[in-house]
Amino acid sequence: MSDLIHYQFDDGLALIGLTYPPVNALSQALRSALSAACERAASDPTVRAIILHGSPFSAGADIGEFGSAASHAEPSLPDILMRLSLIDKPLIAAIDGLALGGGLELALACGYRIAVPEARVGLPEINLGLLPGAGGTQRLPRLIGAEAALDLIASGQSLKAAKAAESGLVDRLARSSATLLEDARTFARKLLADAAPAQPSAPFSEPGISLPATFITDYQAKHAARWKGRQAPQRVLAAIQAACERPLAEGLRREAELFREADASTESAALRHVFFAEREASKVPGINADTMLRPITQVAVIGAGTMGGGIAMNFANAGIPVILLEAQAQTLDRGLTQIRRNYEISVQRGKLSSRQLEQRMALLKGSLDYADLADADLVIEAVFENLEVKQNVFRTLDQVCKPGAILASNTSTLDVDAIAAVTQRPGDVIGLHFFSPANVMRLLEVVRARETAPDVLATTLKLARRIGKIAVVSGVCFGFIGNRMFEPYSREAHRLLLEGATPAQIDKVLTDHGLAMGMLAVQDLAGIDIGYLIRESRREVIGHDPSYCKLGDELHTLGRFGQKTMAGFYRYEGRERLDDPEVTALAERVAGELHIQRRQIADEEILERCLFGLINEGIQLLDEGTALRSSDIDLVFINGYGFPAWRGGPMHEAECIGLDRLLARLQHYRQALGAYGEMWFQPAPLLQRLVAAGRSRIEKI
Ligand code: 3H9
């Protein structure tokens, strides 16, 4: 038959197994083989029922084919599934592992579904800027009702099969993976004995009938904030509306139309880029599948503040015991109490049971004594951001930790080589830069220092996955990838205030672009004092520009530290953020002192200056080798700085804008902004080389 399909005849049953590792993605080749196998079973009079199976069942359409001819090549998935739904013998999908996207749609085209209880089912297409395009938006509402179907499709989340069985998405649960095929055979024989129809009638044959007329518009309004700027959710709604209002065949045609639009959209191209970027990020030169890993069964975190506590929670959540070390009993108690409070909030929100809370707290042990770290396999230091303070911690760790323990610093800006240098074991030292709140944010910048050993890097990357983080490897430089790029972004926002923009105008331009928060609101949240301290440590680099974040420095002098003092770039009334005439007056005064001409600034200029500055820095980081690839930079900005994933990250966006245009605009600002432009808008040499070579992708040449 084909390497991609295993066909077996067994006493009146055809067992068709998908065997295209790793995830049975429904590529053109697999679709052809599947279609041929199903036709064979359909036309064989000795076959009375058909069981489709795979392990995992299938992760859906082959994402790598989207945007190419192979995606639409015959036989198409919708056509195959339509044909399967018309075969006059019962088809049973036997689901192991997962049935996602087109994989679940394949199962939905079968008359019956049996699944291992732990298998996961879902329609995550929305996460790729798509909608289910092989009948999912039409068959699922008819099976479980429009509301439940929309919840599943719009969330992009998967469910355990045991849960899916409650809604009727899965008909029967198998006992285990090992017995799945045996249980599927028993199910098939029962269906045959009962003379069950090939396709049972749909429980919700008219899915819209009992819903209010405003169901779709209400749903849209409820999710408007989360879906701002996105198109895929609108297409999902349109498809569900068709399921509610039209017969199946018409609904399928509408779904196909919407899918074609989505497939060609920039949003989907961006989200597919992010999907592959996440998988690519773990591929790092110098380490491979043969790199030995160090066992991590005990972790220690130094510092029980907000950051240390958040870091510790990640490990407790993954079932790994953590020692939380502090200098004083009172601080330690406060830290542990805060962790408990965080878990209690999760319990109140129904995300955690009280039992799980206690289990996690039991994994956290407080200590005031460095000697307790002797058995830790990984120690993460999260103390005050000061090189000397951190070096002292590492000197102590070098004395108390066992040989082979990984010693990590959570520094966000400092030189990890200089930290490693104070130990006798620099190969065991690495940077693990968690983002705040550390128990929530998905990004982990893994800083590979000059002497970090390959197995230390490989172990931390594996561990990052275990605790649910997206790890991106960075070289050593001030601020690593994220904060180094954040710097020109922040500088530009400060400067634009002096030139005449208001905090609210700047932030609105950025949030309209899809950023989770505006730059100045971020500064107020993070603390004006924190930004000031970071600048203090680098005055020798930035001091030649008298306007550099000058307004931030002035706010610091006034004690306007941001949200915590109810005043920073904004003033705060409760949770409301308001432009403050005092800040405008301050900006006018400072601009006057620095002879900066104030003017009306167009939104486009604000966006270009903030965005292009950080992209230019990203290109420079790639050229220096601090970032391994442009897509890694995108992941940092999406997962650590609230950049919209549906734009694919700043580097992907630059490729969409066009590198020649990016270069031209940087050159424009370099000239238009006088000495300031000359200083800060120098196009990265790699950008100039790429444009000269006529390249459209950002890569090192
Ligand atoms: C769809 O179905 C559209 C239809 O409605 C309509 C069609 C007309 N395609 O993530 P992992 C690769 S849209 C191609 O590291 P895990 C992945 O790149 C699709 N490749 O493992 C990686 O390759 P490599 C809807 C895929 O265990 C390898 O498999 N489906 C696909 O952490 C292992 O992946 C989805 O959105 C694919 N569909 O997670 C599901 N899936 O080793 C997307 C995986 O070369 N996939 N690969 O780097 C996932 O969510 C996760 O990959 C999964 C496994 C949960 C399956």
Distance CA 48, CA 267 (A): 45
Judged by average pLDDT, the poorest of 64-68, 275-279, 604-608 is 64-68
Residues 424 and 381 in one domain: yes
Whether 371 and 300 have beta carbons less than 8 Å apart is answered as no
Distance CA 518, CA 503 (A): 9
Residues 630 and 611 in one domain: yes
Q: What is the mean pLDDT of residues 80-95?
A: 97
CATH code, domain with 565? 1.10.1040.50
Give burial (CB, 10 Å; 0-12/13-18/19+) of 621. buried
Instruction: Report whether residue 23 contacts ligand 1, using a CB cutoff of 6 Å.
Output: yes
Residues 426 and 556 in one domain: no
* pLDDT band, residue 542 (cuts 50/70/90): confident
Q: What is the mean pLDDT of residues 240-255?
A: 97
Residues 419 and 448 in one domain: yes
The best mutation among 63, 120, 278 to test binding of ligand 1, ranked by most ligand atoms within 8 Å of the C-beta, falls on: 63
Residues 439 and 544 in one domain: no
Q: What is the pLDDT of residues 313-326, one digit of tens each?
A: 999 999 999 999 99
Helix axes 146-155, 215-223, angle to 10 degrees: 30
| End residue of a domain, out of 474, 509, 533 | 474
Q: What is the pLDDT of residues 609-648, one digit of tens each?
A: 999 999 999 999 999 999 999 999 999 999 999 999 999 9
Ligand 1 atom at shortest distance from the alpha carbon of 100: 30
pLDDT at 201: 93
Residues 494 and 470 in one domain: no
pLDDT at 99: 98
Number of domain units in the chain: 3
H/E stretch holding 431 reads strand 429-434
CATH code, domain with 309? 3.40.50.720
- In the set 74, 118, 125, 604, the catalytic residue is 125
Residues 569 and 432 in one domain: no
597: phi then psi, degrees, rounded to nearest 5: -70, 125
* pLDDT band, residue 1 (cuts 50/70/90): low
Residues 448 and 581 in one domain: no
| End residue of a domain, out of 453, 474, 495 | 474
The best mutation among 23, 66, 95 to test binding of ligand 1, ranked by most ligand atoms within 8 Å of the C-beta, falls on: 23
* pLDDT band, residue 311 (cuts 50/70/90): very high
Percent of the chain scored above 90 by pLDDT?
93
Is residue 276 one of the residues assigned to a domain?
no
- Expressed in angstroms and rounded, the spacing between residue 59 Cα and the centre of ligand 1 is 5
Distance CA 606, CA 519 (A): 11
User: Which domain, by its residues, includes 96?
Assistant: 5-263
pLDDT at 34: 97
Q: Whose CA is nearest to atom 56 of ligand 1?
A: 59
Instruction: Report whether residue 105 contacts ligand 1, using a CB cutoff of 6 Å.
Output: yes
pLDDT at 118: 98
Ligand 1 atom at shortest distance from the alpha carbon of 134: 6
pLDDT at 690: 98
Instruction: Report whether residue 102 contacts ligand 1, using a CB cutoff of 6 Å.
Output: yes
Q: pLDDT at residue 587 above 80?
A: yes
Whether residue 105 lies in the annotated active site:
yes
Residues 98 and 203 in one domain: yes
pLDDT at 114: 98
Does residue 580 sit in helix, strand or coil?
Answer: coil
Instruction: Report whether residue 123 contacts ligand 1, using a CB cutoff of 6 Å.
Output: no
- Expressed in angstroms and rounded, the spacing between residue 24 Cα and the centre of ligand 1 is 9
Name residue, tokens 């192979």: 70
What does pLDDT average to over the chain? 96
Whole-angstrom CA distances from 18 to 25, 51, 52, 60, 165 are 9, 11, 8, 12, 23
- Expressed in angstroms and rounded, the spacing between residue 100 Cα and the centre of ligand 1 is 9
Residues 448 and 508 in one domain: no
- In the set 105, 267, 381, 487, the catalytic residue is 105
Residues 339 and 431 in one domain: yes
Q: Whose CA is nearest to atom 11 of ligand 1?
A: 279
Q: What is the pLDDT of residues 363-409, one digit of tens each?
A: 999 999 999 999 999 999 999 888 999 999 999 999 999 999 999 99
Residues 465 and 580 in one domain: no
CATH code, domain with 77? 3.90.226.10
pLDDT at 574: 86
Q: Whose CA is nearest to atom 42 of ligand 1?
A: 279
